[in-house]
């Protein structure tokens, strides 16, 4: 059985779990990282010498890095669905996965850490506004693209939607200013109709660090 190592509320692990869900794969979530520990064990060092999450073990094969794992799962178990047969469509999916890494992920995750993962009396409103403004400059690029596409690689849902879809859930559910993004919001609503997205991504993550940690511990099942 496929093993996914990581935390169920981790921004890097969630896309991997979601991909496995879309592929209806049987998998075991091996809790690791944060309060679950295990990253400093010899066993985990054999899986990921960086001692970071996520990582997978698929039989005798191990792999780390979130987007590399998504590509592997899509190509191995979802060729023709999550991984398009057409090389140009696949390249577009890859493009948006990389764009998520290089442009979209950072401002959203830092806005998330500056709000949900910071106690209310310690939050820096100027810093939160900085990250919100960075995201507001970036996401119109995706919004314009989605004006002509149902999903990031065209008419069908692919692996290209997964990293961005996980980021979008946090972006639309944290307390920050956002510009009008009608096409991105419509795409997000389409994602919200997907059962695997509902199960693995659309989890209430609280409004402060105490709630966050309690929810993660309670949501491991």
Q: What is the pLDDT of residues 186-215, one digit of tens each?
A: 999 999 999 999 999 999 999 999 998 888
Asked if the model's pLDDT at residue 62 lies above 60, the reply is yes
Domain boundary among the residues 77, 104, 121 is at 77
Is 26 in the same domain as 114? no
Containing structural domain, residue 12: 2-77
Is 197 in the same domain as 128? yes
Q: For the domain that residue 170 is a member of, what is the CATH number?
A: 1.20.1050.10
Is 206 in the same domain as 158? yes
Give me 172's structure tokens.
């639309």
Residue at 27 is within a domain? yes
The β-bridge relationship of strands 61-64 and 27-31 is unpaired
145-183 in b/e form (b: 16+ CB < 10 A) is bbeeeebbbbeebbbbbbbbbbbbbbbbebebeeeebeb
Neighbours of 74 (CB within 10 A): 24
Count: domains in the chain: 2
Residue at 217 is within a domain? no
Q: Do 12 and 65 contact (CB within 8 A), yes or no?
A: no
Asked if the model's pLDDT at residue 166 lies above 60, the reply is yes
Is 66 in the same domain as 106? no
Residue at 163 is within a domain? yes
Distance CA(98)–CA(71), nearest Å, equals 11
Is 126 in the same domain as 19? no
Distance CA(1)–CA(81), nearest Å, equals 21
Is 66 in the same domain as 168? no
Question: Lowest mean pLDDT: which of 92-101, 152-161, 211-220?
Answer: 211-220
Is 6 in the same domain as 91? no
Residue at 82 is within a domain? no
Q: Do 17 and 200 contact (CB within 8 A), yes or no?
A: yes
Is 19 in the same domain as 114? no
Strand order in the sheet with 2-6: 27-31, 2-6, 55-58, 61-64
Q: For the domain that residue 69 is a member of, what is the CATH number?
A: 3.40.30.10
Is 200 in the same domain as 131? yes
Backbone φ and ψ of 59, nearest 5°? 70, -125
Residue at 219 is within a domain? no
Is 49 in the same domain as 110? no
Is 95 in the same domain as 64? no
Distance CA(4)–CA(56), nearest Å, equals 5
Is 54 in the same domain as 119? no
Q: What is the pLDDT of residue 220?
A: 52
Cα end-to-end distance, the chain, whole Å: 17
pTM of the model: 0.96
Asked if the model's pLDDT at residue 219 lies above 70, the reply is no
Confidence tier at 88 by pLDDT (50, 70, 90): very high
- Listed in sequence order, the residues at least 6 apart from 121 whose beta carbon sits closer than 8 Å to its beta carbon are none
Q: Where are the beta strands (DSSP E) in the chain?
A: 2-6, 27-31, 55-58, 61-64
Distance CA(152)–CA(104), nearest Å, equals 14
Q: What is the pLDDT of residue 35?
A: 87
């Amino acid at each position: 059985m496929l093993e996914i190592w990581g935390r169920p509320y981790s921004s890097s692990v969630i896309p991997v779990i979601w991909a496995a869900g879309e592929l209806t794969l049987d998998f075991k979530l091996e809790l690791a990282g944060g309060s679950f520990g295990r990253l400093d064990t010899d066993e985990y060092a054999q899986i990921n010498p960086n001692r970071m999450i996520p990582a997978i073990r698929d039989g005798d094969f191990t792999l780390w890095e979130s987007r590399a794992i998504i590509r592997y799962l899509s190509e191995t178990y979802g060729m023709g669905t999550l991984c398009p047969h057409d090389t140009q469509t696949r390249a577009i999916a890859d493009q948006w996965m990389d764009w998520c890494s290089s442009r979209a992920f950072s401002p959203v995750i830092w806005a998330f850490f500056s709000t949900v993962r910071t106690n209310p009396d310690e939050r820096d409103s100027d810093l939160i506004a900085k990250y919100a403004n960075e995201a507001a400059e970036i996401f119109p690029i995706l919004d314009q693209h989605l004006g002509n596409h149902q999903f990031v690689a065209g008419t069908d849902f692919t692996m290209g939607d997964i990293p961005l879809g996980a980021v979008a859930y946090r972006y639309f559910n944290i307390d920050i200013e956002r510009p009008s993004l009608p096409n991105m919001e419509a795409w997000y609503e389409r994602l919200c109709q997907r059962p695997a997205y509902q199960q693995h991504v659309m989890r209430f993550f609280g409004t402060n660090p105490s709630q966050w940690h309690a929810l993660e511990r309670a949501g491991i099942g």
